[in-house]
Amino acid sequence: MIAFIIYFAAILSAISASHIYDVNKFGADSTGRKPSTHAIQKAINKAASNNGGTVHFPHGQYLSGAIELKSNIILDFADDVVLKFLDDPKEYPPLHKKLPNGKIVNLQFTPLIRAFDHINITIRGNAVLDGHGETWWKRMPPPSTRPVFLQIFWVRYLTLENITVKSSPMFNVNLKNCDDVTIRGIKIRNPANYVDPGPNTDGINVNSCRRVHITGVNISTGDDCIALDANGKGKTKTPTEDVLIEDSHMYAGHGGVSIGSVTSGGLRNVTVRNCIFNGTNRGLFIKSRRGRGGLVEDIHYHNIQMVDLRKEGIAIAAIYNGSDPGLRSRDFYWEPVNETTPFIRNVEFKNIHGDSVLNPIFIVGLPESPIENVTFTNVKIESKLDVFTNNTKNVVINGKVLDS
């Protein structure tokens, strides 16, 4: 499945690469002394009017406000290009837009880079994209909303390759309702929230997306490194499914790879393998709660090394409310099952090693919805605390059944 995605996306990229649009020829300033927003957008629009092409940034530094990508566009950077984004809120006004697919976009700020309802988009090159987040974090601390760096909604065939994204005002890469996504070799850099506040700077957010391949990424940030969510109500529920995350290295972050807490659309068929988590708060974290609903199932974690984790090594919690004290609450009583009840089942951990300050394994379900069918094989996480389980069914840790 993944090989087909990459191959087909490569074919489409080759189609749109036949024409090259040099941003400097459209008036961009490669010295970075003056904004090039209009020149960059003019090059993108010209390529789009000709059914796509490669919008190329020659070597240099560029300054820009918000830009919009369109179908069949390759945003291509020469080696060592730096693209800095302005930190003036006037450059990112509220965005209210009805898309051709009938969906409505209402955002408090226009994203730094956006694409809505398009196909075949690539951003590639050994370049640094700098969101100037330091100014935003001081100006608008939590719970304020700030601009997202890369916001990609309803796009099919998306490739992000080799770029470095740093100092995002808020989320770095935010994907929603996208299909056939490849993210390869990118780096994300924001300060850890326990060092210098870089609030809500999730690395890669994947929400209600299908067929996603994330490989060779390197992330250090102030929130989850990679977060998988799925939302919707009733007929609008859209799952996140068929996701492969592999060969990646996570440093500072709330979680190395987190699933939830937005689970109403359901998440299934997710594999995380051959990764290193070094200094994240938690390593592998599945979280939901009453009111969120959704089914999380068929999740596989293989060959993970976790070093110096600041909290739990592996955590699965159906009582997550956004706080650590809430995560450890024991005052949960049975409630009737309804559409908003979360279910978590069929989770596999294999060849997981490391150390953590808090519980090596922490699993808490709901009385009416125990977390079930969780298997640990060759899992060893050093900690001064014990494994903790509550409201579970058929949990097997290295051959020993441990239910509560």
Q: How far apart are the first and last CA of the chain?
A: 38
Looking at per-residue pLDDT, the higher value among 126 and 193 belongs to 126
**Average pLDDT of the residues of the chain:** 92
User: Please, what's the b/e burial string for 352-381 (b: 16 or more CB within 10 A of its CB; e: otherwise)?
Assistant: bebebebbbbbbbbbebbbbbbbbbeebeb
Confidence band, pLDDT 50/70/90 cuts, at residue 193:
confident
Confidence at residue 294, expressed as pLDDT on a 0 to 100 scale: 95
pLDDT of residue 194: 57
184 has a pLDDT exceeding 90? yes
Query: What is the domain extent for residue 40?
Result: 2-401
pLDDT tens profile 304-323: 999 999 999 999 999 887 66
pLDDT of residue 114: 98
Per-residue pLDDT, 5: 46
Is the confidence at residue 401, as pLDDT, over 50? yes
Q: Are 79 and 57 in contact (CB under 8 A)?
A: no
Residue 232 is predicted with a pLDDT of 86
Count the domains in the chain: 1
Residue 254 catalytic? yes
Percent of the chain whose predicted confidence (pLDDT) is above 70? 91
What is the rounded distance in angstroms from the CA atom of residue 113 to the CA atom of residue 129?
10
Catalytic pick among 56, 118, 213, 254? 254
Domain of residue 298, CATH code: 2.160.20.10
| Residue 234: how many other CB atoms lie within 10 Å | 7
Contact 142, 199 (CB under 8 A): yes
| Most confident region among 7-21, 190-204, 312-326, 380-394 by mean pLDDT | 380-394
Quote the CA–CA distance of 259 and 286 in Å, as a whole number.
5
User: What mean pLDDT is predicted for residues 107-121?
Assistant: 97
Look at residue 326 in the predicted model and tell me its pLDDT.
59
Q: Which residue has the tokens 């110096």?
A: 308
Pure H helices in 81-152: 133-139
Work out the average pLDDT over 263-272: 98
Q: Where are the beta strands (DSSP E) in 230-367?
A: 240-246, 249-250, 255-259, 267-278, 282-287, 295-309, 314-317, 343-356, 361-364
- The pLDDT tens digits for 13-52 are 444 456 999 999 999 999 999 999 999 999 999 999 999 9
Between residues 260 and 101, which one has the greater pLDDT? 260
Residue 210 is predicted with a pLDDT of 98
* pLDDT above 90 coverage of the chain, percent: 83
| Closest listed residue to residue 343, CA positions, set 321, 365, 376, 315 | 365
**DSSP H or E run through 34:** strand 31-35
CB 225 within 8 A of CB 191: no
